[in-house]
């Protein structure tokens, strides 16, 4: 049997170099060749850039979100608040968690909200956001989806109060002592976002705020908030609010990890001393109305006692269509 041998060409292969790889004397620039090997095409995405890209496209839904209601003893007001949030949570698949704040009294803590948020984060370890909402607030528009209309990165970017001063009672509103909030959209890092909050005429408004779960920035904000509240050398006019202001004023990274949004997004007020600006007052279609300033205004308290039960009942009728409550507040 005849065997056939394989003939292999021995012609040398001619390597082609680009101009950057050859020096003026015609010698190969080995450094340029090695660099080309290291960067085969486009530059690889860094871990930080990848995390930011993923965070900017993240959508939160269902049990990612826990609505937290804190109350003191069961009253008509707390019953209405719990009913209101429970129905809203069931509609969208969120978790609603109610805590009797009197359980913390023995700890003599200056802000039981912090303790309640921490406890909720531990209880619901798979959650992504905790939404604290005071019991004197009412969810008005059940069609609002928190993941799409509030926590959606595209929405937050548009609703942030850029270039506003952080109102600071402790500094007597002196410009030199008050930090300007974010000046550019690029200053917000979605991957490092730890809190979403609003501010009213006087200061940051802690009646309604979101804290990110399982997030270092969210944890740091709570820790430093607590630390400033407990500081013996502080004489705050409104301890709960002004201590949080101090955290953001003194910690630039945490300021960039906090979205201070327009008030009507999560905390519209009635026409009273606790609101500021054209987008602060409740208008038809807004998500939440808060009556916190009723404690300073007898007429407002009358409105709460008469109107709040009606609003909660009207809200309960809207679930089949996810409509909004047909009531306009103008106190």
H-only helix segments in 239-329: 239-250, 252-256, 298-316
Same domain assignment for residues 123 and 28: no
Rounded Cα gap, residues 144 and 286, in angstroms: 9
In a domain, residue 59? The reply is yes
Same domain assignment for residues 25 and 169: no
Q: Which two tokens stand for residue 4?
A: 């056939």
How far is it between the farthest Cα atoms of the chain? 114
Same domain assignment for residues 209 and 87: yes
Same domain assignment for residues 151 and 226: yes
In a domain, residue 106? The reply is yes
Same domain assignment for residues 20 and 89: no
Same domain assignment for residues 197 and 120: yes
Domain of residue 248, CATH code: 3.90.550.10
In a domain, residue 67? The reply is yes
Same domain assignment for residues 33 and 126: no
Length of the chain: 331
Query: What is the domain count for the chain?
Result: 2
Pairing of strands 204-212, 195-199: antiparallel
H-only helix segments in the chain: 30-38, 47-56, 76-92, 112-123, 153-159, 216-230, 239-250, 252-256, 298-316
Same domain assignment for residues 18 and 89: no
Residue 21, domain extent = 13-42
DSSP assignment letter at 150: I
Per-residue pLDDT of the chain (331 residues; tens, 9 = 90+): 555 444 444 554 444 444 444 444 445 555 554 555 555 555 667 877 787 777 667 889 999 999 999 988 766 678 888 989 999 999 999 999 999 999 998 887 878 999 999 999 999 999 999 999 998 888 988 899 999 999 998 888 888 887 777 866 555 544 444 456 665 565 666 777 899 999 877 778 899 999 999 888 999 999 999 999 888 777 787 888 888 988 988 888 888 889 999 888 998 876 544 444 444 566 677 888 887 655 555 555 555 666 666 666 665 555 444 444 444 444 3
- Is pTM beyond 0.95 here? no
First vs last Cα of the chain: how many Å apart? Answer: 108
Contacts of 171 (CB under 8 A, 6+ apart): 177, 178
Same domain assignment for residues 171 and 73: yes
H or E element that contains 211? strand 204-212
Same domain assignment for residues 218 and 128: yes
What count of other Cβ atoms lies within 10 Å of the Cβ of residue 287? 22
């Amino acid at each position: 049997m005849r065997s056939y041998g394989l003939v292999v060409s021995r012609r040398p292969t001619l390597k082609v170099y680009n101009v950057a790889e050859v020096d003026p004397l015609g010698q190969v620039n080995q450094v340029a060749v090695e660099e080309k090997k290291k960067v085969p095409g486009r530059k690889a995405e860094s871990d930080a850039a990848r995390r930011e890209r993923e965070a900017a496209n993240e959508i939160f839904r269902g049990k990612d979100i826990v609505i937290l209601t804190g109350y003191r003893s069961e009253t008509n007001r707390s019953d209405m608040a719990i009913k209101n949030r429970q129905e809203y949570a069931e509609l969208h698949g969120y978790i609603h968690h109610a805590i009797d704040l009197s359980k913390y009294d023995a700890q003599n803590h200056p802000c039981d909200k912090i303790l309640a948020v921490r406890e909720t984060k531990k209880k619901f370890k798979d959650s992504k956001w905790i939404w604290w909402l005071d019991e004197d607030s009412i969810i008005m528009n059940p069609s609002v989806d928190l993941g799409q209309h509030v926590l959606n990165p595209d929405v937050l970017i548009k609703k942030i109060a850029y270039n506003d001063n952080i109102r600071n009672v402790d500094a007597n509103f002196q410009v030199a002592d008050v930090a300007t909030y974010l000046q550019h959209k690029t200053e917000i890092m979605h991957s490092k976002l730890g809190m979403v909050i609003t501010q009213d005429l006087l200061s940051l408004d802690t009646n309604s705020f979101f804290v990110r779960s399982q997030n270092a920035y969210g944890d740091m904000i709570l820790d430093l908030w607590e630390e400033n509240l407990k500081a013996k050398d502080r004489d705050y006019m409104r301890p709960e609010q002004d201590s949080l202001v101090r955290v953001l004023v003194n910690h630039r990274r945490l300021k960039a990890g906090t979205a201070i949004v327009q008030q009507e997004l999560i905390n519209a007020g009635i026409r009273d001393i606790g609101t500021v600006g054209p987008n602060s007052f409740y208008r038809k279609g807004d998500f939440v109305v808060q009556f916190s300033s009723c404690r300073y205004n007898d007429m407002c308290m009358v409105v709460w006692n008469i109107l709040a039960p009606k609003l909660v009942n009207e809200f309960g009728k809207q679930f089949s269509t996810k409509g909004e409550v047909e009531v306009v507040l103008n106190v």
